[in-house]
């Protein structure tokens, strides 16, 4: 990892500044990617923005900023995006700031004040290194200041044709991934959460490996087709939409069950019944359960302390299996008729077993 500290004047930084909205923001004669396409919007409030300009007019130091040196040439802001945009916007008369007793936009400032601002020196670290070195470094510096999400950092490190194309599908407001999958996914497109989820699914959790292998692919068509297959599979397998379907790990289920013959009508009947079952406390787990049949996804309601106490007293502290006496703390509640055979979490269906007998019974 090579890190060089350089001084860049506001004049140099803001030269060639262009805000292309969703298509990105550039400066430094077009060589600096201030906000890559489809990344989140400017989020500083007026006070923070004004503070940046006051710091400069008073010749106080701004904190250092970090730029990544790209393989193919050019730079990308890793830390300092909000400060950079504040400076550039002010130089371009996008807002006014109170200086002394009056409000000024940049072009209305006296010439000498304008010059002072343009000659102000920003301290920039230029970072050059392997992808994994950069990622580790950026994660460390990212702890302070204007935070980038994990996926925003990855997009910067593995920048190239593949990620640019992937963002067209997954990272704009109202992007095609949102239009087709917005009901099934958590998070927001512009914070890169859709893109992160899609890569997580296709790579089975190896996001960085996948991005590095595909960094220089001409496009991200394969990822997009994969994502569409997941959504098609979900809508065909579970055609009745419920709000609990938002945020499920659909890609994980798709990877596991895409080749299994499933009956959507039968599945829907089971789901509807489980949705009404008040002992199923985690409704979103129903979809996973009907595919895997693993009860742990349903969080079956546990017996209350009162129910346990009442059963314990009725049994006079005797474990019905081994017939020994135990303290309440040494026993566990058990469904007499198991939940999957129709037994409810009610006082009548509760009995207390000693720990050993309970573990033996549930095969733990
Ligand atoms: Zn026992």
What's residue 146's pLDDT? 62
Residue 157, pLDDT score: 87
Query: Tokens 């997954």 identify what position?
Result: 170
Ligand 1: centre distance to CA 168 (Å): 62
Rounded to the nearest whole angstrom, what is the distance from the C-alpha of residue 325 to the centroid of ligand 1? 8
E strand or H helix at 56: helix 46-57
| Token pair recorded at residue 191 | 């914070």
Rounded to an integer, what distance in angstroms lies between the CA atom of residue 65 and that of residue 81? Answer: 9
| φ and ψ at residue 25, rounded to 5 degrees | -130, 130
Q: State residue 143's pLDDT score.
A: 58
pLDDT digits (tens, 9 = 90+) for 202-241: 999 999 999 999 999 999 999 999 999 999 999 999 999 9
- Structure tokens that stand for 315 in this block: 């049994």
Joined tokens for residue 28: 């430094």
pLDDT of residue 145: 56
Token pair 């900023």 is found at: 65
Dist. CA 321 → ligand 1 center (Å)? 5
Look at residue 15 in the predicted model and tell me its pLDDT: 96
Q: Which two tokens stand for residue 203?
A: 């790579």
Which residue reads 């430094």 in tokens?
Answer: 28
Identify whether the C-beta of residue 38 lies closer than 8 Å to the C-beta of residue 168. yes
Could you tell me whether strands 331-335 and 32-35 are parallel, antiparallel, or unpaired per DSSP bridges?
A: unpaired
Instruction: Please give the backbone phi and psi of residue 227, each rounded to the nearest 5 degrees, phi first.
Output: -60, -45
- Rounded distance between C-alpha atoms, residue 47 and residue 249, angstroms: 40
What is the value of pTM for the model shown? 0.79
359 CA to centre of ligand 1 in angstroms: 10
- CA distances for 101 relative to 32, 92, 98, 112, angstroms: 35, 22, 7, 18
Q: Which stretches of the chain score pLDDT less than 70? A: 40-42, 142-146, 363-364
**Ligand 1 centre from 99 Cα, in Å?**
80
Q: Which two tokens stand for residue 282?
A: 């985690």
Cα angle: 305, vertex 307, 308; to 5 degrees:
65
Cα-to-centroid distance, 330 and ligand 1 (Å): 10
Q: pLDDT for 87-100, tens place per residue? A: 999 999 999 999 88
Write the burial class of residue 32 (CB in 10 Å: 0-12 exposed, 13-18 middle, 19+ buried): buried
Residue closest to 253 by CA, chosen among 207, 295, 288: 288
Q: Contact 68/141 with Cβ under 8 angstroms?
A: no
**Cα end-to-end distance, the chain, whole Å:** 50
Residues 6+ apart with CB under 8 A from 10: 56, 87, 91, 117, 118, 119, 120, 122
CA of 279 to the centre of ligand 1 (A): 26
Distance between CA atoms of 96 and 116, rounded to whole angstroms?
Answer: 17
Distance from Cα 333 to the centre of ligand 1, integer Å: 12
Ligand 1 mean position, distance from CA 324 (Å): 6
What's the gap in Å between 336 CA and the centre of ligand 1?
Answer: 14
State the pLDDT at residue 16: 94
Residue 238: phi and psi, rounded to 5, are -125, 70
Q: How far apart are CA 321 and CA 295, in angstroms?
A: 24
Distance from Cα 355 to the centre of ligand 1, integer Å: 7
Distance 68 CA to ligand 1 centre (A): 64
Neighbouring residues of the ion ligand 1, judged by CB less than 5 Å: 319, 321-322, 354, 357
CB 172 within 8 A of CB 189: yes
Q: What is the Å distance from ligand 1's center to 360 Cα?
A: 9
- For residues 194 and 171, the answer to whether their CB atoms sit within 8 Å is yes
Token couple for 88: 């550039």
Q: What pLDDT, on the 0 to 100 scale, is given for residue 71? A: 79
Per-residue model confidence (pLDDT) at position 17: 96
Q: What are phi and psi of 334, to 5 degrees?
A: -140, 140
Q: Which domains can be identified in the chain, with CATH numbers?
A: 2-148 (no CATH), 156-238 (no CATH), 263-297 (no CATH), 305-362 (1.10.30.50)
Query: From ligand 1's centre to the CA of 343, what distance in Å?
Result: 21
User: How high is the pLDDT of residue 142?
Assistant: 67
């Amino acid at each position: 990892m090579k890190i060089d500290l350089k001084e860049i004047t506001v004049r140099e930084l803001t030269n060639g500044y262009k805000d292309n909205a969703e298509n990105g923001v550039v400066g430094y004669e077009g060589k600096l990617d201030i906000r890559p396409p489809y990344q989140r919007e400017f989020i500083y409030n007026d006070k923070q923005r004004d503070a940046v300009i006051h710091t400069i007019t008073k010749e106080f130091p701004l904190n250092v900023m970090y730029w990544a040196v790209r393989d193919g040439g050019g730079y990308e802001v890793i830390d300092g995006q909000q400060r950079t945009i504040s400076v550039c916007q002010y130089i371009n008369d996008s807002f006014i700031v109170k200086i002394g007793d009056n409000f000024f936009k940049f072009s209305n400032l006296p010439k000498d004040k304008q010059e002072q601002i343009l000659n102000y020196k920003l301290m920039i670290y230029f970072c050059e290194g392997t992808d994994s070195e950069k990622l580790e470094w950026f994660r460390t510096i990212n702890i302070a200041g204007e935070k980038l999400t994990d996926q925003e950092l990855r997009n910067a490190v593995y920048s190239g044709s593949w990620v640019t194309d992937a963002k067209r599908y997954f990272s704009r407001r109202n992007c095609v991934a949102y239009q087709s999958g917005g009901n099934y996914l958590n998070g927001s497109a512009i914070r890169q959460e859709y893109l992160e989820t899609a890569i997580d699914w296709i790579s089975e959790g190896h996001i960085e490996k996948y991005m590095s292998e595909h960094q220089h692919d001409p496009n991200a068509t394969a990822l997009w087709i994969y994502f569409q297959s997941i959504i098609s599979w979900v809508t065909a397998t579970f055609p009745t939409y419920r709000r609990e379907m938002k945020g499920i790990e659909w890609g994980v289920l798709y990877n596991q069950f895409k080749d299994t013959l499933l009956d959507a009508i039968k599945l829907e009947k089971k789901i509807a019944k489980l949705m009404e079952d008040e002992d199923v406390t985690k409704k979103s787990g129903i979809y996973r359960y009907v595919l895997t049949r693993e009860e742990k996804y349903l969080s079956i309601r546990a017996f209350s302390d009162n129910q346990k106490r009442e059963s314990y007293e009725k049994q006079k502290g005797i474990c019905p299996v081994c017939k020994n006496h135990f303290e309440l703390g040494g026993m566990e509640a058990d469904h007499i008729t198991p939940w999957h055979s129709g037994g409810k979490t009610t006082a009548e269906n509760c009995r207390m077993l000693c720990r050993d007998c309970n573990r033996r019974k549930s095969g733990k």
